[in-house]
Structure 1
Amino acid sequence: MIYQGNAITVARNGDDIATLTFDLKGESVNKLSSAVVQELGDAVKALENENGLKGLMITSGKDAFIVGADITEFHGLFDKGEEYLVEMNLKVHDIFNAIEDLPFPTVTAINGLALGGGCEVLLTTDFRVMGEKAKIGLPETKLGILPGWGGCVRLPRLIGADNAVEWIAGGTENRAADALKMGAVDAVVPNDQLEAAALDILARAASGELDYQARRDEKKQPLKLNAIEQMMAFETAKGYVAGKAGPHYPAPVEAIKVIQKGAGEERARAQAIEAKAFAKLALSNVAFNLVGLFMNDQVVKKKAGKYEKQAQPVKQTAVLGAGIMGGGIAYQSASKGTPILMKDIKDEALELGLKESRKLFAKQVERKKLTTEQMAEKLTNIRPTLSYGDFGNVDLVVEAVVENPKVKGAVLAEVEESVGEGTILTSNTSTISINRLAQNLKRPENFCGMHFFNPVHRMPLVEVIRGAKTSDAAVGATVAYARAMGKTPIVVNDCPGFLVNRILFPYFGGFSFLVEQGADFQRVDKVMEKFGWPMGPAYLLDVVGLDTAVHAGEVMAEGFPDRMGSMSGEGDKKSAIQLMYENDRLGQKNDKGFYAYEEDRKGKPKKVSDEAAYALVKQVVKEEKEFSDDDIIARMMVPLCLETVRCLEDDIVASPAEADMALIYGIGFPPFRGGALRYIDALGVAEFVKLADRLAQELGPLYAPTEKLRKMADAGKRFYPTASQG
């Protein structure tokens, strides 16, 4: 044995070939933590001191090769400042360069996922052999940073600047066939032939058949591009990528600039440029928040995994109601491989649900994600029915009928009679209390909410709502089914609007106040879109449907009369939202709401300004005030953030991580801002409380901070502890 560590071993075989194996003890995957990188440095030194070696093969003892750096360390490392980060990256470069400069040929056998730092490791070797199902990529830009351990330097020299820009700016995971086509790897073989193929390459390099030194020289030298080729490769890409990434995500464009600046330099200088650019991005709020999101996502997945362990597998499901929502649920279930019965009381409704599913599958075929044969096969997972005849074998039912407590209650009681004693019943309600719906059920312990967001196939979040009598087994089965459908389930407790809608409606309340005081709703939309929301509040209301918004607003008003009472719009207190609804302006449903809608060239609704909407809004304007962009942002964001705080305090949601992820996955809260609670942390809890108090004096209880939040502010606490606080 040449070297033995906690994560890395280096052994020598009879042919004088060394094998460096990544196999981190006690972990299911290999990660490049600070400790593992230190070990890699020691292992490389041991290799340098070993005499008579003829080659090195790098392998993994896990199913994945290396999933990347240990992201849990990032906030702590970022806290140490720019100088530290530059120095840290240069030390890693020294280790990686030492692998690249070993006095014998080197090869990596890539058996599985190799991302980020893992991909940068394999770029150091002279050759690469890849398993058929493995993937490689540099997804750092998705975390607001860029590859800092040589990815921006080596990849362009290996696959060409234009291909490297596409991989790095897009943060893509690339399949073996694509990697081979691009020249990122030298061979693709079945996993059981990986080691033999890698050893064969080393033998051919040792015999002089393959020139490994020429490979190295190419990676160390400047890119062979003239001025026109540079302009074509970089300037055009910068414009395109900036347009796609948007102004709030600088990392993809910065990565292109780093590749461009380093293109004319040799290895050391290009790596110094990369190290400095990485450090600058790492200290940005965007990187801090996107890394925080990754960590929150891990928390959510871990919790879902724990719930899943409490459940029996869900093999056969059913959806009640075959409208757009039911059809969307059926499609999602069928597309991910769980057979589903789709039940309705009318043939034409079933046809509508099937049509919705067929349309979504057809889009997958158009995008070449599925073949026609695969589509036909997946469609057989959906079985339409008018009766409960086949419900005896169903493990879980999703009720998705009209949003009316009496109708839902009757349908749930009816289906309970037709299913087995262990079948889990769920309701896709967006507002109706789960405890209320459970009142008519004989087995309330088998019942919970399963709230999908529209459109089902696009929105990642599913709220799993626990009622007072819901069992852990029911929650576990529902979480398991949501995950099998490719969704992110977050478990919440029952209350009006549950988590996401309860938080969203104070945001709409803030919008109504602004309009009453004379703010132009189109300007409010523009300001909030510039802030980072995918659409402003007026546009979002049109997409949700003004009828849905009014109904949900009434539920909120009843549940939280002290601060949301005005949402019921009684007497002269009508809001612009209610006025739209009463004048049959339902939004995109009937092509008129705050905006009018026309079909664009692709047949999708395109919003246009509508004087009739402005005329209606004038009826609710009580005064004319001038608002700055900051005023608009504060009046919109403070009530949303405060309601998130209340949901955490009321134990509707278990942790800040789950609250913030629900908002990002459920309503498109700007990811680069990290979520409502991270947004409060960024402003400073004490500053946020001051701002809320000032607004509450004028606008009332919707803007009033809670007592617990005041205590947090006084104590200098945060929702997310800093790295130094642990």
Structure 2
Amino acid sequence: MVYQGKSVSVQMLDDGIAELCFNASAESVNKFDVATVNELSEAITALEQCEGLKGVIATSVKGVFIVGADITEFGGVFGAGEDAVIGHLAKNNENNNRLEDLKVPVVVAINGYALGGGLEFCLACDYRIMASGAKIGLPETKLGLIPGWGGTVRLPRIAGVDTAAEWIASGKEQRADAALKAGVVDAVVEADQVRDAALHTLAQCISGAFDYQARRAQKTGPMALNDTEGLMAFETAKAFVGAQAGKNYPAPVTAIKCMQKAMKLDRTGALAAEAAGFAKLAATTAAQSLVGLFLSDQLIGKKAKGWEKQADKRIERAAVLGAGIMGGGIAYQSALKGTPIKMKDIAQAGIDLGLSEASKLLTKQVERGRMKPAQMAEVLTRIEPCLAYDGFDQVDIVVEAVVENPKVKHAVLADVETRVGEDAIIASNTSTISISYLAQALKRPENFCGMHFFNPVHAMPLVEVIRGEKTSDKAVARTVAYANAMGKKAVVVKDCPGFLVNRVLFPYFAGFSMLLRDGADFQQVDKVMQAWGWPMGPAYLLDVVGIDTAAHCEQVMAEGFPTRMGKTFKACTDIMYEAKRFGQKNAKGFYQYQPDKKGKPAKLVDDETYALLAPHVAERKDFSEQEIVARMMIPMLTEMARCLEEGIVDSAAEADMALIYGLGFPPFRGGVFRWADSLGLTAVVEMAKAYETLGELYQPTEGMLALAGAGKSYYA
């Protein structure tokens, strides 16, 4: 053994070939944490000093190659300023340069995922051999960053500006066939042949059949573009990528600008340009928020896996009560991910609608080339439509998704409990009705919980698993395990009106109603909140949700929290509801809707909305963008703070991820708590106090005041 570390080793093979191997002994995957980077430096030193060395093969013992940097180390580094960030990048850049400058050829065997810094290491090697099932990519822009270990330098010099711009700006993982076609890898073979193929390639380099030195010259010198070619390539890329990414996500365009600055530079100058771009992005709130989201996502995944490990039984057969759009969506998702499901309704029309929904979603998968017709047929066979309870004694979980009416749900839940085994879990997909209240209809309330999906089920990642007063850990564990099996992001919350997401959504809508009451134009509010980052403004969102649904939920929330969510004026949703303007479902709400060329509802301005609102609102006046944002967001923040303080949700991270995955909260803002932290809680408290005459929703909680007073934040 030439070198042995905890994650990196070097050993001599035959014919003067050394194997540089990654095998993180304490981790399930290889990643570039500080310790591994230091070990790699020591390993390269050993290679530089190795007598008789003729070539190097880089391999991994793990099922992946290297998944990238250790994101958990970013926080401390980013907080120390641009110089510290550049210093953090320097060590691995030095490693990659030294690897690239070895006096012998280096070939890498990419046996699994090589992402971020993992791919950048591979780009520093002379030849890249990839397993057919492996994937590579540079996902840094998804974290609000750019590649920092040579990705913007080597990739355009290897594969061209167009490929580099597309790969880096999108951050997508790339399959082996695409990587080969793009020229990023040199060969694709089956996984059990990748090491032998890499050794064969290395032998060709050693013999002189492959000119690896020419490749190095290409990677370490300026790009092979003249001024006109460079101008056209980079300006076109910036325009296209800028339009796609938008102003709130600066990283993709920054990556292209760094490549453009480095076009005529050698490796040293190009890496300096890349490091400067990376460091500036690291200081942005977008990068800090997106990195934080990545870590929070890992946290909720870890907690969900923890619950799954507690499950005493695997969910092998499921059922959903109530077909229709929601039931069909649940059945589709369950069947798609491999869990057979019964779909029961009281009427054939409901069954037909549910099957139609599942078929429509599967057909789209086939049309987009993501699924073959035979696979679609296989998924459909996992959905068993039924009008009776036959076979329900064999299912492990039943998801009740009938109409949002307490009496109907009580009756249905009491009935289904007599049809299933004593050990089966029953879960309600209710969006507002108390789980503890619904459990009163059951003889085994310990086997009952909430399982709140978001519409459309196939598109929205979140599932709220709601624990009632008598819900057992067993019920929670099995339900979370089922959500995991469905490919969903499960967050466990306690029972209360609206649970977590709807409880904080309706204060946001209350802020909207008060703005309109005080003379704001709903179109202006929509435009401001969309510009702030929401996928749609509040008026448009209410139309999509359904104003009749929103009116019902508002009533539930007002009964649950009368001093905060009770109404003292006629709200805009009440006005629309009374006028039977329910939104997209009947083609008129705040806006009017007409089918576009693709059959989707196109939003149109409707003057009748203003006429309906006029008798109940103040004279029209303009509000500043800052005031609109404050009046919309403070109620959501204060209510979420109450949820955290009451233990409805366990952590700020889970609360923020629920908003991201359940509502489409702007990811670059990181969630409502990260947004508050980015402003500083002292500033947030002052902002809230400016509007506290509007009611309790604008009054900071005791917890907020305590954190602000101590100079602390939600994410310490």
Question: Structure 1 residue 197 and structure 2 residue 214: aligned?
Answer: no
Which whole-Å CA distance do the structure 2 matches of 1:13 and 1:627 have between them? 73
Residue 698 of structure 2 aligns with which residue? 703
Structure 2 distance, partners of 1:65, 1:622, is: 63
* 2:581 equivalent to 1:580: no
State the partner residue of 2:227.
Answer: 227
Residue 623 of structure 1, CA deviation: 5.2
What per-residue deviation string (whole Å, max 9, x for no partner) do you get for residues 172-218 of structure 1?
A: 10111111111111111222212111111111111111111112111
Tell me which residue corresponds to 1:546: 547
* Deviation of the 1:361 alpha carbon: 0.7
CA distance in 2, matches of 1:21, 1:341: 49
Contact 1:317 1:397 in 2 (8 A): yes
* Structure 1 contact 139–173 (Cα < 8 Å) conserved: yes
Asked if 1:681 corresponds to 2:677, the answer is: yes
Distance 2:615 2:494 in 1: 39
Matched to 2:379, the amino acid is K
1:724 corresponds to:
none
**What is residue 602 of structure 2 aligned with on the other side?**
606
Aligned to 1:252: 252
Question: What's the counterpart of residue 214 of structure 1?
Answer: 214
The Cα RMSD (Å) is 1.1
Give the TM-score normalised by structure 1. Answer: 0.97
Measured after TM superposition, the shift of residue 603 of structure 1 is 1.1
- Structure 2 letter corresponding to 1:346: A
Query: C-alpha displacement at 1:316, in angstroms?
Result: 1.0
1:565 and 2:560 aligned = no
5 Å-filtered alignment, 1:414-453, equals 414-453=415-454
Q: TM-score, normalised by structure 2?
A: 0.98
Instruction: Measure the CA separation in 2 of the matches of 1:452 and 1:13.
Output: 55
1: distance between equivalents of 2:702 and 2:282? 35
Counterpart in the other structure of 1:498:
499
The answer to whether structure 1 residue 669 and structure 2 residue 670 are counterparts is no
How far apart are 1:495 and its partner, in Å? 0.2
* Separation in 2, partners of 1:348, 1:710: 54
Q: Distance in 2 between matches of 1:387 and 1:236?
A: 60
Letter in 1 for 2:168: I
Contact 1:323–1:352, Cα closer than 8 Å, also in 2: yes
Distance 2:711 2:278 in 1: 31
SS at match of 2:441: coil
Does the Cα contact within 8 Å between 1:90 and 1:272 map onto a contact in 2? Answer: no
| 2:624 pairs with 1:635 | no
2:165 partner amino acid: V
Question: Alpha-carbon deviations, 1:489-541, whole Å to 9, x = none?
Answer: 10000000000000000000000110000000100100111111111110100
Partner amino acid, structure 1, of 2:613: V
**SS at 1:333's partner residue?**
helix
Partner of 1:83: 83
Partner SS, residue 201 of structure 1 = helix
Report the secondary structure of 1:465's partner residue: strand
Per-residue deviation at 1:626?
4.0
Contact 1:516 1:623 in 2 (8 A): no
Query: Could you tell me how far apart the structure 2 residues matched to 1:396 and 1:340 are?
Result: 9
Give the match's secondary structure for 1:57. strand
| Counterpart Cα distance in 2 of 1:14 and 1:498 | 64
User: What are the equivalent positions in structure 2 for 1:39-438 lying under 5 Å apart?
Assistant: 39-311=39-311, 312-438=313-439
Q: Which residue of 584, 587, 594 corresponds with 2:590?
A: 594
Where does the alignment leave 5 or more consecutive residues of structure 1 unmatched? 722-726
Moved more, 210-219 or 292-301: 210-219
Number of positions where the alignment pairs a residue of Structure 1 with one of Structure 2 = 715
Equivalents in 2 of 1:90, 1:307: separation in Å? 40
SS of 1:606's equivalent in the other structure is: strand
* Aligned 8 A contact 1:109 1:128 in 2: yes
Rounded Cα–Cα distance in structure 2 between residues aligned with 1:199 and 1:122: 15
* Deviation readout 1:654-699 (Å, 9 max, x if unpaired): 0000000001111111111111111111111122112212211x20
Structure 1 CA distance, aligned partners of 2:522 and 2:242?
A: 28
Q: 3-state DSSP class of the match of 2:310?
A: coil
User: 2:469 maps to which residue?
Assistant: 468
Tell me whether 12-21 or 102-111 shows the greater mean CA deviation.
Answer: 12-21
Whether the 8 Å contact between 1:448 and 1:475 is mirrored in structure 2 is yes
CA distance in 2, matches of 1:183, 1:631: 52
Which letter does structure 1 place at the counterpart of 2:506?
F
Q: Which moved more, 1:273-282 or 1:213-222?
A: 213-222
Task: Give the C-alpha shift of residue 65 in structure 1.
Answer: 0.8
Deviation of the 1:476 alpha carbon: 1.1
Q: Find the partner of 2:715 among 711, 715, 720.
A: 720
Note the alpha carbon deviations across 1:384-439, whole angstroms, 9 max, x for none.
Answer: 01111111211111111000011111111111111111111111100000001111
* TM-aligned CA deviation for residue 619 of structure 1: 2.1
Residue identity opposite 1:584 in structure 2: K
Q: CA offsets, 1:611-649, max 9 Å, x none? A: 111111112214555421111110001000111100000
Distance 2:144 2:458 in 1: 27
Residue identity opposite 1:683 in structure 2? L
Deviations 1:288-320 (A, max 9, x none): 111011111111001001000011211111111
C-alpha deviations, 1:218-262, integer Å up to 9, x for none?
Answer: 111222123333233221121111111111000001111111221
**Aligned equivalents of 2:87 and 2:674: distance in 1?**
29
CA distance in 2 between counterparts of 1:619 and 1:457 reads: 41
Given that residues 77 and 88 in structure 2 are in contact (C-alpha distance below 8 angstroms), is that contact kept between their aligned partners in structure 1?
A: no
Deviations 1:75-129 (A, max 9, x none): 1111121122223323322211100011111111111111000110111111111
Q: Which AA in structure 2 matches 1:262?
A: A
CA contact (8 A) 2:520 2:621 kept: yes
Of 488-497 and 622-631, deviating more is 622-631
Structure 2: give runs of 5+ residues left out of the alignment. Answer: none
Amino acid at match of 1:234: F
Q: Partners in 1 of 2:405 and 2:415 — Cα distance?
A: 15
Conservation of the 8 A alpha-carbon contact between 2:131 and 2:194: yes
Task: Report if aligned partners of 2:317, 2:395 keep a CA contact under 8 Å in 1.
Answer: yes
Q: 2:615 aligns to what? A: 619
Displacement of 1:717 in angstroms is 1.5
Secondary structure class of the residue paired with 1:128: strand
For 2:84 and 2:699, how far apart are their aligned partners in 1? 42
Once the two structures are superposed, residues 600-619 of structure 1 have per-residue CA deviations (whole angstroms, 9 ceiling, x without a partner) of: 12111111110111111112
Between the aligned partners of 1:235 and 1:337, the Cα distance in structure 2 is 46
Distance, in Å, in 2 between the alignment partners of 1:546 and 1:90 is: 55
Helix, strand or coil for the counterpart of 2:262? Answer: helix
| Contact 2:342–2:385 (8 Å) recurs in 1 | yes
SS in 2 for 1:619: helix
Shift of 1:474: 1.0
Q: C-alpha distance in 1, partners of 2:326/2:591?
A: 24
Distance 2:367 2:398 in 1: 31
Q: Is the 8 A contact 2:146 2:278 kept in 1?
A: yes
Aligned position for 1:654: 650
Hey, what's the Cα distance between the residues in 1 that align with 2:234 and 2:418? 65
